[in-house]
Amino acid sequence: MAKAGKQNRQDVVEKATNLYWEKGFHGTSMRNLQDVIDMRPGSIYAAFGSKEGLFKEALQYYTQQGFAQLTALKSTTGSPLKGLKAFVEMAVIDSQDSAPSGMCMLAKTISELTEENAELLAEAKSLLHKIELSFAATFIEAQAFGEVDKEKDAKQLARSLQIQIMGLRTYTRVNNDNKAIKEMIDTLFLAFSDVKK
Amino acid sequence: MAKAGKQNRQDVVEKATNLYWEKGFHGTSMRNLQDVIDMRPGSIYAAFGSKEGLFKEALQYYTQQGFAQLTALKSTTGSPLKGLKAFVEMAVIDSQDSAPSGMCMLAKTISELTEENAELLAEAKSLLHKIELSFAATFIEAQAFGEVDKEKDAKQLARSLQIQIMGLRTYTRVNNDNKAIKEMIDTLFLAFSDVKK
DNA sequence: TAATATCTTGAACGATCGTTCAAATCCAGT
DNA sequence: ACTGGATTTGAACGATCGTTCAAGATATTA
């Protein structure tokens, strides 16, 4: 492939991402992938090297899409903090029904894999760290915007948000009580925007 | 087996639990299990029926051990809330190094499995719910003990704790910063014990 | 000790795993 | 239209998957 067959590389990676996201690394077979992305083994191996190689690219694509969404939401809401909140609501609530899995794909990967797939594990950790950095950057923007108390440590807020998202997404898979979850997110962001008067 | 060979049923289930906990359902093969529990296929199938049957028993054993630990910690600390906090510290911090996986085995299962293993998924959800109920019961004890504000809703506290634990355990696998995590747990329990003066 | 009931063994099953590669196909430049 | 390189195909590989079951070993009863 490379130079565009019926579909370009991004379409293929997106389909693979959705399957891996739903079923996990070990739960997805190369034959599952062949069916979904409509490519024969030889082409897949020529383009991605291995099951691990394609998974790694899927992790990267997933993360990149997340960045794009956060950026878009900050723009459409016209505010860093509102954008961030919309992003969390989307990830925690909306994705339970519409996404391949209610889980964050990176958290799911970190939960699933062991040192037997050290490189993929490291990649997932690294990407999650980058997301945390972008949360921190968003909090700093929000502070400049006057939405968040400037006394607060953006890094600490980002870490805390990361933990909340992971917890909420897992919990929502167990007990999908939309109303209660929505309230918890509201409370969480009220705490973030607790500007000293 | 059943009537005790070289090892009794509980020893076998414990070994299986630790392997499943580390590698997950799909990441564990029956041959991995055969090696670890030192039983031949025929005996395993006679005793547990299938890979799924043994996994289900592992989930139950894991949960039962958790209940036992919480009960023990409440007893040794002489306080419901202190026992609960010790339990969380153990689960979030200590288990990162000593346990088969830093993750909660139930959360890991819920993250990994799909409707292809509906029965196991339902079992994991049900067991997590039972744990939440026991958290709620502990908060009620703590209220009677004067450790927690009686105005607060024990069910809501339990839900919130469940979410925090899931988030913290996943996060700690990514970024094992013991000091910061310890502080977050302290802060969390300070909020729980925020009795009106 | 012989007969019987119970449990354990491990070879073997068909299915599926991740991966390879020679052959077929496609496409660009002449 | 022809050629040569790039791409795609799909049969096939050895390994491993979850599972079965006849045969052997062990424990129990008479």
pLDDT at A158 over 90: yes
Contact by Cβ (8 Å): A174, B110: yes
pLDDT at B80: 98
- Burial label, A146 (beta-carbon count in 10 A; 0-12, 13-18, 19+): exposed
pLDDT at A69 over 60: yes
Chain B residue at shortest CA distance from A164: B167
CB of B95 within 8 Å of a chain A CB? The answer is no
CATH 1.10.357.10 is held by the domain B60-192: yes
The 3-class secondary structure across A106-135, one letter per residue, is: HHHHHHHCCHHHHHHHHHHHHHHHHHHHHH
CA of residue B10 to C1' of nucleotide D21, angstroms: 26
Written as six digits, the tokens of A59 are 């992790």
Query: What percent of chain B has pLDDT above 90?
Result: 93
Please provide the DSSP assignment of A170-189 as one string.
Answer: HHHHH---HHHHHHHHHHHH
A-chain CB neighbours of B162 within 8 Å are: 167, 171
pLDDT band at B195 (very low <50, low <70, confident <90, very high): low
Residue with token string 């959800």: B125
CA distance B122 to chain A (A): 9
Region A146-174: what's the mean pLDDT? 97
CA distance A61 to chain B (A): 20
CB-based contact A166 B170, cutoff 8 Å = yes
The mean pLDDT value of chain A amounts to 95
pLDDT at A161: 98
State the angle between helix axes of B9-23 and B105-112 in degrees (0 to 180), rounded to the nearest 10: 60
CB-based contact B159 A166, cutoff 8 Å = no
Region B9-30: what's the mean pLDDT? 97
State the angle between helix axes of A9-23 and A30-37 in degrees (0 to 180), rounded to the nearest 10: 140
Region B16-42: what's the mean pLDDT? 98
Residues whose CB is less than 8 angstroms from the CB of residue A63 and which lie 6 or more positions away in sequence, other chains included: A106, A127, A130, A131
Chain B residue at shortest CA distance from A171: B163
What does the buried/exposed string (b/e) look like for B10-25 if buried means 16 or more CB atoms within 10 Å of the residue's CB?
A: eebbbbbbbbbbbbbb
CA distances from residue B16 to A25, A145, B29, B188 in whole angstroms, order as listed:
22, 53, 11, 34
pLDDT at B196: 53
Provide the CATH topology of domain A59-192. Answer: Tetracycline Repressor; domain 2 (1.10.357)
CB of B164 within 8 Å of a chain A CB? The answer is yes
pLDDT at B3: 39
Asked if strand C contacts B33 at the CB level, meaning under 7 A, the answer is no
B-chain CB neighbours of A24 within 8 Å are: 24, 26, 112
Chain A residue at shortest CA distance from B157: A184
Please name which of A28, A27, A30, A36 lies closest in space to residue A7, comparing C-alpha atoms. A36
State the angle between helix axes of A51-77 and A41-48 in degrees (0 to 180), rounded to the nearest 10: 70
pLDDT at B152 over 90: yes
Nucleotide closest in space to B45 (CA vs C1')? D19
Region B147-161: what's the mean pLDDT? 97
Contact by Cβ (8 Å): A30, A45: no
pLDDT at B2 over 50: no
d(CA B10, CA B18): 12
Asked if strand D contacts B35 at the CB level, meaning under 7 A, the answer is no
pLDDT at B92 over 50: yes
Summarised one tens digit per residue, pLDDT across range A71-109 is 999 999 999 999 999 999 999 999 999 999 999 999 999
- Backbone dihedral angles phi then psi of residue A100, each to the nearest 5 degrees: -55, -35
pLDDT at A173 over 90: yes
B-chain CB neighbours of A110 within 8 Å are: 170, 173-174
pLDDT band at A193 (very low <50, low <70, confident <90, very high): confident
* CA R_g for chain B: 18
pLDDT band at A196 (very low <50, low <70, confident <90, very high): low
pLDDT at A144: 96
CA of residue A168 to C1' of nucleotide D15, angstroms: 41
Give the domain ranges of chain A: 59-192
A-chain CB neighbours of B101 within 8 Å are: 114
> Which among B114, B168, B174 has CB closest to A110?
B174
pLDDT at A3: 40
pLDDT at A194 over 80: no
Mutate: best of A97, A171, A181, partner B, most B CBs <10 A? A171
CB of A81 within 8 Å of a chain B CB? The answer is no
The 3-class secondary structure across chain B, one letter per residue, is: CCCCCCCCHHHHHHHHHHHHHHHCCCCCCHHHHHHHHCCCHHHHHHHHCCHHHHHHHHHHHHHHHHHHHHHHHHHHHCCHHHHHHHHHHHHHHHHHHHCCCCCCHHHHHHHHCCHHHHHHHHHHHHHHHHHHHHHHHHHHHHHHCCCCCCCCCHHHHHHHHHHHHHHHHHHHHHCCCHHHHHHHHHHHHHHHCCCCC
pLDDT at B192 over 70: yes
pLDDT at B197: 46
- Strand D nucleotides, any atom under 7 Å to a protein CB: 6-12, 16-22
